[in-house]
Chain A
């Protein structure tokens, strides 16, 4: 059955915001996984460059995404 009244339906949080939250959660999970290796002094030099790049890329992802114009 097709919904009749648009006013009663839908979600308050739009999909852009929801996917932003999903991406933040996913990024946090990945950074959490990688952070262990940065925290071990004997091992961290090998992973530092990649980790810095990943964190910077995440910042850029969210930054450019929020700055970019809408898809309309």
Chain B
């Protein structure tokens, strides 16, 4: 009797005989049997069987599930931004918004979360898991660990939506905090905008999911090592395996800081633990930066796997490729502070991060040179332009296109110009769409037939998918860049109504539509493939030949090349090849050193939260600026004395020196001049920031929006830099300001004559779609004279998107009914106030805010500068039916939008 016959056994879930003493724990057994019961029932339905590959092994099934779930989150995230951009276009064309401010900013938040993590991170996990198992040639184990990781990741996407359990469903409780959540925004007790704890639990679940997956991968590497022992280490691993290992090192370095920052936020919110927002942000950005490189390794691995495979040549220089992998891993965790250049961090920390941010160009430079050189000498007759090759080329080009704007962001002095603007979005959408997503699609087209056993159904659909992705993605990036040139901030819906902005927003919207439509071709092709695709068989083929054959199903028949491996005999020595690599990298290093050297003096002047030239100047205006949700308070001493809300008052050419603090959320003093240096400083609660600059020479009203997202009323959080004529030039008109373009600041309010302009409030509680409202002009004799202007707050403008009336009910007409019940009057004084340089604001006229009446305000005024409207913020609370609370979310704030400047010059 053999040893096998003596050993009692049972049949396991996979149909294999398992010895009794190797029986899994009872829980695992139960799970296995439950899974098998569900699988076998669903497998009887053709659609489920084909789509989810229910007849295949568990590793194939879970990989397919991850790819499908990833694509679903990618699609949902794509439609999120479609929703956001419809509101941007609506506002730009002066139409009504149908989403509340909270819904709008939730759309952006969930767009970022779903695309980065639900889609890109999950697809990367699926692809890297498949590659690792196949590369090491080991049997995948610990099924339920991987299942748990995938379940947690997808559950985290649901948690991150917040309290969707509310009935009736109220999507205003989706988190409007941004995918990168800078403390103290969202934290109960520390911010006027509070998210549900479910949001933070979602981040914890996400971190747990990815860390668990990384452990699952490491466990398999250790299994392989135990099987093969030390001899295995002498092998030359494929290049991509070095990058996979690097990813496994980076993941804890990435997600543990996320866990730390999130847990600290929760302990502050729910246990009163003290918070240092700046320290918390430093920890968060260790995650926030590292994650984009973790995801960037998807197209990098794609190029190192697919280019040699398609070219049938080994990588140009193995040693340089490995060096690149090691450099990515070493440098990536060290760059977080380049997101915090404009905060009060020490100058040396910012400078060092700039140096390292330039250094990480080197592994990218190695990679793209090596990949390109791998193709040198490959004849056209051996190269096939299938979808894998097309998307690999796109990932290659997209990495260059998106990547080259990285050093611009990384230069501290240039970051002053572009921080928080659409330039940042152009950079990272260039990388995400044209590199990361492209790399993911290259893998998808390569491995889908291998996984499903079906050849791609339509080469034409694959080509259309590629074309639409290129056109849509490029349009999106270039449109964002053009908005950046104008100085437009990210995350804004309430933008200046300027033809250039409107036109570019329409182009951006078109790009988004083209991109989304393009993905429908992929979805259609995927479904048709699993349901009607021809059988794919890799029998008798090597792995490389199988992938080429799989990719070939996306090539028209007339353009196919043989898929067989071609014996390769190395003729050019590695010394000669590496000479070129060395020459290239030495050149890059010299140029990087030059760039860092050139950027150092300016960079050191910017750091420590201090922007501008600084130094002592006579007649400096000292401003203590305090930022809160959603306005600034400026206390001024110097030539001008006074306290102003959302206004900074200064004489022409006068130097300003700011001490800035904030509460509730990070603020940013941002003035996008084009005739002089941009002002851009981050003000982090708990720290003090500084700025100094010289006011423009032209008297006028300059727009100064808050540059950093601070909650749902971010768009209305716009101050004015009011530059007065010199004391001996009182009465100067705005003619020169208008002729000189207002120093190029795109946020300057429009200038309209008081006598013929009617100010009409819109649904967002601002006059004539402008915040501050239009600068009204009038002229009077030097001794004074009558000035009139007309304004109106229509009843129809009162609603969910308007802060003037609190939300206490989910009934759509409740706010208007409140106004009607209170005799069409709201208890906020609509004032006319003169700016007196020695005392501040002097009230000339005041009347309660009348709704639904066209009112003409008339006053006898002397030449000077006045504020009109609600010049004090309005307290706002969103709390329908008492639903708001620590569990669901809280939205309060003080909002100031219905105001502007009246400029009275001497006739």
- Taking a contact as CB atoms under 8 Å apart, the answer to whether A20 and B372 are in contact is yes
Chain B residues near A2: list those with CB within 8 A. Answer: 549, 552, 562-564
- Give B571's nearest chain A residue, CB to CB: A72
Contact of B380 among A11, A58, A64 (CB under 8 A): A11
- Taking a contact as CB atoms under 8 Å apart, the answer to whether B378 and A50 are in contact is no
Instruction: Contacts A14-B383, A49-B595 given; indicate if A68 touches B414 (C-beta within 8 A).
Output: no
Chain B residues near A31: list those with CB within 8 A. Answer: 404
Question: Taking the complex as formed, is B374 at the interface, i.e. its CB lies under 8 A from any CB of chain A?
Answer: yes
Contact of B417 among A12, A25, A46, A61 (CB under 8 A): A46
A45 to B412, CA, bound (A): 12
- Taking a contact as CB atoms under 8 Å apart, the answer to whether A53 and B592 are in contact is yes
Instruction: Contacts A11-B385, A34-B408, A69-B577 given; indicate if A46 touches B602 (C-beta within 8 A).
Output: yes
Chain B residues numbered 384-404 whose CB sits less than 8 Å from any CB in chain A: 384-385, 389, 393-394, 396-404
User: Per-residue 0/1 for A1-43: is the Cβ within 8 Å of any B Cβ (1 yes, 0 no)?
Assistant: 0110011111111111011101101110111011011001011
Question: Taking the complex as formed, is B6 at the interface, i.e. its CB lies under 8 A from any CB of chain A?
Answer: no
- Taking a contact as CB atoms under 8 Å apart, the answer to whether A22 and B572 are in contact is no
Question: Taking the complex as formed, is B226 at the interface, i.e. its CB lies under 8 A from any CB of chain A?
Answer: no
Chain B residues numbered 597-614 whose CB sits less than 8 Å from any CB in chain A: 597-599, 602
- Taking a contact as CB atoms under 8 Å apart, the answer to whether A6 and B393 are in contact is no
A31 to B478, CA, bound (A): 12
- Report how many residues on chain A are interfacial, defined by Cβ distance under 8 Å: 54
Chain A residues near B674: list those with CB within 8 A. Answer: 40, 42-43
Chain A residues near B417: list those with CB within 8 A. Answer: 37, 43, 46-47
Instruction: Give A71 Cβ to nearest chain B Cβ, in Å.
Output: 5
Instruction: Contacts A40-B674, A65-B372 given; indicate if A47 touches B414 (C-beta within 8 A).
Output: yes
A2 to B402, CA, bound (A): 37
- Taking a contact as CB atoms under 8 Å apart, the answer to whether B372 and A14 are in contact is no
Instruction: Contacts A6-B381, A12-B380 given; indicate if A19 touches B393 (C-beta within 8 A).
Output: yes
- Give B482's nearest chain A residue, CB to CB: A36
Instruction: Contacts A19-B396, A23-B397, A70-B572 given; indicate if A14 touches B375 (C-beta within 8 A).
Output: yes
- Taking a contact as CB atoms under 8 Å apart, the answer to whether B396 and A42 are in contact is no
- Taking a contact as CB atoms under 8 Å apart, the answer to whether A42 and B677 are in contact is yes
- Give B582's nearest chain A residue, CB to CB: A64
Instruction: Contacts A42-B676, A53-B595, A54-B407 given; indicate if A61 touches B369 (C-beta within 8 A).
Output: yes
- Give B316's nearest chain A residue, CB to CB: A71
A18 to B371, CA, bound (A): 13
A25 to B404, CA, bound (A): 13
- Taking a contact as CB atoms under 8 Å apart, the answer to whether B373 and A68 are in contact is yes
Instruction: Give A28 Cβ to nearest chain B Cβ, in Å.
Output: 9
Contact of B372 among A6, A16, A47, A69 (CB under 8 A): A16
- Taking a contact as CB atoms under 8 Å apart, the answer to whether A71 and B561 are in contact is no
Instruction: Give A38 Cβ to nearest chain B Cβ, in Å.
Output: 10
A57 to B358, CA, bound (A): 13
A45 to B416, CA, bound (A): 12
Question: Taking the complex as formed, is B311 at the interface, i.e. its CB lies under 8 A from any CB of chain A?
Answer: yes
Chain B residues near A33: list those with CB within 8 A. Answer: 405, 423, 426, 478, 481
Chain A residues near B310: list those with CB within 8 A. Answer: 15
Chain B residues near A71: list those with CB within 8 A. Answer: 311, 313-314, 316, 373-378, 572, 577
Chain B residues numbered 580-626 whose CB sits less than 8 Å from any CB in chain A: 580-581, 583-584, 587-588, 591-592, 594-595, 597-599, 602
Chain A residues near B598: list those with CB within 8 A. Answer: 48-50, 52-53
Instruction: Give A53 Cβ to nearest chain B Cβ, in Å.
Output: 4
Q: Which of B371, B394, B417, B674 has the most chain A CB atoms closer than 10 A to its own CB?
A: B417
Question: Taking the complex as formed, is B560 at the interface, i.e. its CB lies under 8 A from any CB of chain A?
Answer: yes
Question: Taking the complex as formed, is B558 at the interface, i.e. its CB lies under 8 A from any CB of chain A?
Answer: yes
- Taking a contact as CB atoms under 8 Å apart, the answer to whether A10 and B379 are in contact is yes
User: Per-residue 0/1 for B668-683: is the Cβ within 8 Å of any A Cβ (1 yes, 0 no)?
Assistant: 0000011111100000
- Taking a contact as CB atoms under 8 Å apart, the answer to whether B372 and A19 are in contact is yes
A2 to B541, CA, bound (A): 11
A40 to B891, CA, bound (A): 41
A69 to B579, CA, bound (A): 9
Instruction: Give A70 Cβ to nearest chain B Cβ, in Å.
Output: 3
Chain A residues near B592: list those with CB within 8 A. Answer: 53
Chain A residues near B399: list those with CB within 8 A. Answer: 26
Chain B residues near A20: list those with CB within 8 A. Answer: 372
Instruction: Give A20 Cβ to nearest chain B Cβ, in Å.
Output: 7
User: Per-residue 0/1 for B792-818: is the Cβ within 8 Å of any A Cβ (1 yes, 0 no)?
Assistant: 000000000000000000000000000
- Taking a contact as CB atoms under 8 Å apart, the answer to whether B414 and A46 are in contact is yes
- Taking a contact as CB atoms under 8 Å apart, the answer to whether A49 and B584 are in contact is no
Q: Which of A8, A46, A72 has the most chain B CB atoms closer than 10 A to its own CB?
A: A46
A54 to B584, CA, bound (A): 13
Q: Enumerate the 7 nearest inter-chain pairs by beta-carbon distance, A residue then B residue, closest first.
A: A49-B598, A70-B377, A68-B580, A46-B413, A10-B381, A30-B404, A53-B595
Apart from A11-B384, A22-B396, A30-B401, list 5 A-B contacts with CB within 8 A: A3-B552, A23-B368, A27-B401, A27-B404, A43-B677
Chosen A-B contacts, 30 in total, with CB atoms closer than 8 Å, are A3-B562, A6-B562, A9-B560, A10-B559, A11-B383, A11-B385, A15-B378, A16-B376, A25-B397, A26-B399, A30-B405, A31-B404, A42-B673, A42-B675, A43-B417, A49-B411, A49-B595, A49-B597, A50-B408, A50-B598, A53-B591, A53-B592, A53-B595, A56-B591, A57-B591, A68-B376, A69-B576, A71-B314, A71-B375, A71-B572
Chain B interface residues toward A at CB < 8 A: 310-311, 313-314, 316, 365, 368-369, 371-385, 389, 393-394, 396-405, 407-408, 411, 413-414, 416-418, 423, 426, 474, 477-478, 481, 485, 549, 552, 557-564, 570-572, 576-577, 580-581, 583-584, 587-588, 591-592, 594-595, 597-599, 602, 673-678
Chain A interface residues toward B at CB < 8 A: 2-3, 6-16, 18-20, 22-23, 25-27, 29-31, 33-34, 36-37, 40, 42-43, 45-54, 56-58, 60-61, 64-65, 67-72
